[in-house]
Chains A and B, each alone.
Chain A
Amino acid sequence: MKLLPLTALAGLAASPALAADMAISVEVPRLSVAEYHNPYIAFWLETPERAHVQDLAVWYDTEMRDDEGETWLKDMRQWWRRSGRALDLPVDGLSRPTRAPGTHEMNFSAADFTDLPTGEYRLIVEVVREVGGREMLEIPFQWPPSESQTLTARGEEELGELTLSLSPSSE
């Protein structure tokens, strides 16, 4: 199991919440454009006051020669400002390759959120595509969930359906 980087938790004094699971599903739309590149996407958690809490994943071109993919990370400008610029990339368990159009799922278990206090959060998903556009989606949620729930948001251009599934853990 991998522990995800935790930052900006200072300020949040409450004790860690009860365990729960999280699944994120994101649709990378197939776009009819002359020059298509897979999108860069950052997933992270914020407080309602926009304080960065925890990165979940960043998808970028991890295979380019001389780590050139990292030169475009700044274009996910909110993520870059709130977290990325302070990281020593690549980060194990955080950096992942880009994905082609289609629906992709990521699953997180209770162990990934052992330090996440009870409270209100937002899942933020920021996407940017080379020779393309940028878009940012958010889904507010309560942690830990009291019952299983599925929350959704929908992008206009660069993202299709975004789904956040939460369920109380059986642990």
Chain B
Amino acid sequence: MKTTNRALKGALLATAVAAALPAAAHAHRAWMLPSATVLSGENVWLTVDAAAANTLFHFDHRPMGLNNLTVHAPDGSTLEPQNVSQGAYRSTFDVDLVQNGTYNVEVLNDSVSAVYTDENGEEQRFRGTQADFAASGLADRDDVTPSYNTSRTEFFVTVGAPTDMTIQPSGVGLELEPITHPNDLYAGEAARFRLLQDGEPLADQELEVIAGGQRYRDAEDAIPTVSDENGEFEVTWPEPGMYWIHAEVGPGGRNPAPGARSAAYNGTFEVLPQ
């Protein structure tokens, strides 16, 4: 599901769809929090929390659904997450880091929404995955215009030397193509990324870059960030810690207009001290 976090947008959204929307269904940030992102040695494990919560990175709302969780190993294969469980406020899982190199862990929700008239002449709304939609028969109907919502929540972790296979863009939804390796981030240094939508650079797009530990400060202290004409942007990390990078495009919401395309990106990046 789409998450949005701007108060104004949230308010407008709430007005528009208040009747259909459960109180808890909007305006929360999606994120995963890995136990570490730079590791050494053999037989090391990673443990991860995944949640939707307003405060970075504190579990204060609900667990993240992990149906669409994929662990991409350095050699391009996928690994099964272990010990997957869902708590009241967070989901957790472990990854046995059996290879050296850089892993990408992502939850990619690629959903379709469409209004259609059923055989009794009543208006219904379809919600499901792209595959569900293709199987529903609705895709072939001229009177049905679907809307799409792609949301990616991800992070990278490296054992030993960083590698490049799992940082290549997939061409689906919003994603960051790292120019600086995402597990080579240090306080006081600048890191560069290229924001892509469906594989193409997305220019002039606002992003939110927010440090964790938010509960212990008064202001959000987002680092103002906008992609340039090549979709690129740079962040100079003020302090070590975990950071959340977020971007979203399209109308979002639970009941988008026919033909609407929305996408969201949520990445967690660890910045180490010098």
Instruction: Write the residues of chain A forming the contact surface with B, with a CB cutoff of 8 angstroms.
Output: 66-74, 77-78, 80-81, 84-86
A55 to chain B, nearest CB (A): 15
A74 / chain B contacts, CB cutoff of 8 Å: 38-41
Establish whether residues B40 and A80, one from each chain, have CB atoms under 8 Å apart when the complex forms: yes
Min CB gap B98→A, angstroms: 14
Closest-by-CB residue of A relative to B272 is A77
Chain A's closest residue to B45 (CB) is A71
Assess whether A73 is in contact with B40, with CB atoms less than 8 Å apart. yes
Q: Among B38, B41, B158, B274, which residue has its beta carbon within 8 angstroms of that of A70?
A: B41
Given known contacts A85-B160, A86-B161, A73 and B273 CB-to-CB distance under 8 angstroms: no
A98 to chain B, nearest CB (A): 15
User: Considering the chains assembled together, what is the distance between the CA atoms of A46 and B158 in angstroms?
Assistant: 24
The chain B residue sitting closest to A84, CB to CB, is B40
B44 at the A interface (CB under 8 A): yes
* B161 and A85 contact, CB distance less than 8 A: yes
Q: A77-B273, A81-B184 are in contact. Are A67 and B161 (CB under 8 A)?
A: no
Do residues A67 and B184 form an inter-chain contact, with CB atoms below 8 A?
no
* Residues from 164 to 188 in B contacting A, C-beta threshold 8 Å: 184, 186
A68 to chain B, nearest CB (A): 7
Smallest CB separation, A53 vs chain B (Å): 18
Question: A86 to B38, alpha carbons, bound, how many Å?
Answer: 13
| Distance between A62 CB and nearest chain B CB, rounded to angstroms | 12
**Does chain A have a CB within 8 A of B42?**
yes
Contact of A68 among B41, B158, B160 (CB under 8 A): B41
- Residues of chain B with a CB closer than 8 A to A70's CB: 40-42
Q: Is the CB of B40 within 8 A of A78?
A: no
Question: 0/1 per residue, B239-274, Cβ < 8 Å to A?
Answer: 000000000000000000000000000000000111
Contact A72-B42, Cβ < 8 Å, known A77-B272, A86-B161: no
Q: Is B43 an interface residue (CB 8 A)?
A: yes
Chain B residue at minimum C-beta to C-beta distance from A64: B41
Q: Which residues of A contact B40 (CB under 8 A)?
A: 70-74, 80, 84-85
Residues of chain A within 8 A of B42, CB atoms compared:
66-67, 70-71
Min CB–CB distance B271 → chain A (angstroms): 12
Given A66-B42, A71-B39, A85-B162, 13 extra CB contacts under 8 A:
A67-B41, A68-B41, A68-B43, A69-B41, A71-B42, A71-B43, A72-B40, A74-B40, A74-B41, A80-B38, A81-B272, A86-B160, A86-B161
Contacts of B41 on A, CB cut-off 8 Å? 67-74
> Quick one: which of B94-141 are within 8 Å of A by CB?
none
Most buried by B among A70, A74, A80: A74
Q: What residues on A are CB-neighbors of B161 within 8 Å?
A: 85-86
Q: Roughly how many angstroms separate A105 CA and B162 CA in the complex, as a whole number?
A: 34
Measured between alpha carbons, how far is A65 from B274 in the docked complex, in Å? 30
Cα-based distance from A78 to B38 in the complex (angstroms): 12
Interface string of B36-65 (1 = CB under 8 A from A): 001111111000000000000000000000
Q: Which residues of B contact A85 (CB under 8 A)?
A: 40, 158, 160-162
A81 to B184, CA, bound (A): 8
Q: In the complex, what residues of A have CB within 8 A of residue B186's CB? A: 81
Once the chains bind, are A71 and B184 in contact (CB under 8 Å)?
no
26 A-B pairs with CB atoms under 8 Å apart are A66-B43, A67-B41, A67-B43, A68-B41, A69-B41, A70-B40, A70-B41, A71-B40, A71-B43, A72-B40, A73-B40, A74-B39, A74-B40, A77-B38, A77-B272, A78-B274, A80-B38, A80-B40, A81-B186, A81-B272, A84-B40, A85-B40, A85-B158, A85-B162, A86-B160, A86-B161
**What residues of A have a CB within 8 angstroms of the CB of B39 in the complex?**
71, 74
CA distance A100 to B171 in the complex (A): 54
5 A-B pairs with the lowest CB-CB distances in the bound complex, closest first: A71-B41, A70-B41, A74-B40, A73-B40, A85-B161
In the complex, what residues of B have CB within 8 A of residue A80's CB? 38, 40
Residues of A within 8 A of B184 (CB): 81
| Complex-state Cα separation, A81 to B38, whole angstroms | 9
Count chain B CB atoms within 10 A of each CB in A73, A78, A85, A86 and give the residue with the most.
Answer: A85
